[in-house]
């Protein structure tokens, strides 16, 4: 870190240039092949500035242009990995991770650059960070329990390679929710198992059911067996949603949504809606693991990014069931402000 500080003192504009070109490389990686006009619009810049930056990157052999647009070269991909590590040092992420872990009562914080709310490529970074961490902690024969959601779907795409553990069983922790089957926990369990070259189980039930049917559904032998397997998981990874986002996915009408917000709900996980202090303000009747089941799972990983999710992340972590939280800089900086950490 000292050498980077010295460089910034010698070349004050270094950080600004590094940030600009890092964002540009990330944009190209995420959206390629892509044209100048699209890049300029996404980055809030002018085509003239983007053209100049692309010329520099092209001269360095980091990007390649074609009739379809611009994409990263192999060298560009390698350089981007190095620059991403540098960005952690420039932004002092180790300090952020340490301070937030202490303030939120989490064993470990992992922060990736960017903000999902302002740059959709941030979801890819979150997914890749989660995939890397899973590769580190999963052991042969482990049971991995997973939730649904867009970020977890990207994690499933990011887990691959030849140095993976053997005989991993992936199990969904919730039933289906909403219309998009691609982000259901069942779909993610299948995709993750295929990437890990392991096996999977399916929870063939909707997440939300009427209370009068709940006992009947969870007493069905196959469903009961999958839920029991999830409770014995060695590692569990789940996403976090804002209260409003998850209420809409559950089909709340406007009146019910406003009532939920008036009750103070800011975050949701495992069918529970939490206020900013982690108190449960509403509980849904749902099929799958419950919040209290996390007490017996050795490693619980929580994933969520985007500045707008800061209160949701804080509310869920306040319950004390998270061992590792993987988030982005947008959430981290907002949480530092909320918790008044300097």
* Number of domains present in the structure of the chain: 2
CATH number of the domain within which 19 lies: 1.10.10.10
pLDDT at residue 281, as a whole number: 95
Residue 2 has pLDDT above 70, yes or no: no
Q: Do 254 and 270 fall into the same domain?
A: yes
Q: Do 111 and 192 fall into the same domain?
A: yes
Taking residues 67-79, report their average pLDDT: 93
Q: CA-based angle 21:23:25, to the nearest 5?
A: 70
Q: Please, which pLDDT band fits residue 44 given cuts at 50, 70 and 90?
A: confident
State which residues form the domain around 77: 2-88
Q: Do 145 and 167 fall into the same domain?
A: yes
Please tell me which residue, 98 or 180, carries the higher pLDDT value.
98
Q: Do 98 and 70 fall into the same domain?
A: no
Q: Give the tens place of pLDDT for each residue, 185-243.
A: 999 999 999 999 899 999 988 767 777 777 778 888 899 999 999 999 999 999 999 99
Taking residues 77-82, report their average pLDDT: 90
Q: Do 270 and 187 fall into the same domain?
A: yes
Residue 47 has pLDDT above 60, yes or no: yes
- Please state, in angstroms and rounded to a whole number, the distance separating the CA atoms of residues 146 and 136: 17
Residue 8 has pLDDT above 80, yes or no: no
Least confident of 20-24, 277-281, 303-307: 20-24
Taking residues 80-94, report their average pLDDT: 84
- Please state, in angstroms and rounded to a whole number, the distance separating the CA atoms of residues 273 and 263: 10
Each residue of 156-192: b (16+ CB within 10 Å) or e? Answer: bebbeeeebbeebbbbbbbbbbbeeeebbbbbbbbbb
Q: Do 309 and 189 fall into the same domain?
A: yes
Structure tokens at 196: 């890990």
- The pTM for the full model equals 0.86
Residue 162 has pLDDT above 60, yes or no: no
- The percentage of residues in the chain with a pLDDT greater than 70, rounded to a whole number, is 94
**The domain boundary residue, chosen from 57, 88, 119:** 88
Q: Give the tens place of pLDDT for each residue, 231-286.
A: 999 999 999 999 999 998 888 899 999 999 999 999 999 989 999 999 999 988 77
Taking residues 36-50, report their average pLDDT: 88
**The domain boundary residue, chosen from 49, 65, 88:** 88
CATH number of the domain within which 317 lies: 3.40.50.1360
């Amino acid at each position: 870190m000292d050498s980077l500080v010295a460089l910034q003192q010698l070349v004050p504009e270094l950080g600004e240039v590094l940030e600009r070109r890092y964002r540009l490389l990330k944009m190209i990686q995420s959206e390629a092949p892509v044209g100048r006009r699209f890049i300029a619009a996404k980055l809030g810049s002018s085509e003239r500035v983007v053209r100049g930056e692309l010329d520099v990157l092209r001269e360095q052999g980091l990007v390649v242009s074609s009739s379809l647009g611009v994409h990263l070269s192999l060298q560009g991909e390698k350089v981007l990995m190095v620059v991403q590590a540098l960005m952690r040092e420039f932004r002092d992420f180790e300090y952020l991770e340490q301070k937030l872990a202490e303030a939120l009562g989490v064993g470990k914080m992992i922060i990736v650059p960017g903000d999902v709310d302002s740059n959709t490529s941030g979801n890819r970074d979150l997914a890749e960070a989660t995939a890397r961490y899973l590769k580190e902690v999963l052991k042969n024969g482990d049971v991995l329990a997973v939730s649904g959601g867009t970020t977890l779907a990207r994690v499933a795409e990011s887990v691959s390679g030849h140095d993976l553990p053997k005989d991993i069983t992936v199990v969904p922790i919730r039933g289906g929710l909403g219309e998009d089957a691609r982000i259901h926990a069942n779909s993610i369990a299948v995709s993750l198992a295929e990437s890990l070259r392991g096996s999977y189980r399916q929870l063939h039930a909707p997440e939300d059911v009427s209370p009068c049917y709940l006992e009947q559904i969870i007493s069905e032998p196959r469903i009961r067996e999958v839920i029991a397997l999830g409770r014995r998981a060695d590692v569990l990874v789940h996403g976090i949603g804002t209260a409003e986002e998850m209420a809409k996915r559950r089909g709340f009408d406007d009146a019910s949504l406003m009532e939920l917000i008036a009750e103070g709900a800011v975050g949701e996980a495992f069918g529970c809606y939490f206020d900013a202090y982690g108190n449960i303000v509403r509980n849904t009747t749902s099929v799958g693991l419950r919040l209290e089941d996390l007490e017996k799972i050795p490693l619980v990983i929580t994933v969520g990014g985007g500045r707008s999710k800061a209160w949701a992340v804080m509310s869920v972590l306040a319950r004390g069931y998270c061992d590792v939280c993987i988030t982005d800089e947008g959430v981290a900086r907002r949480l530092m402000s909320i918790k008044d950490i300097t």
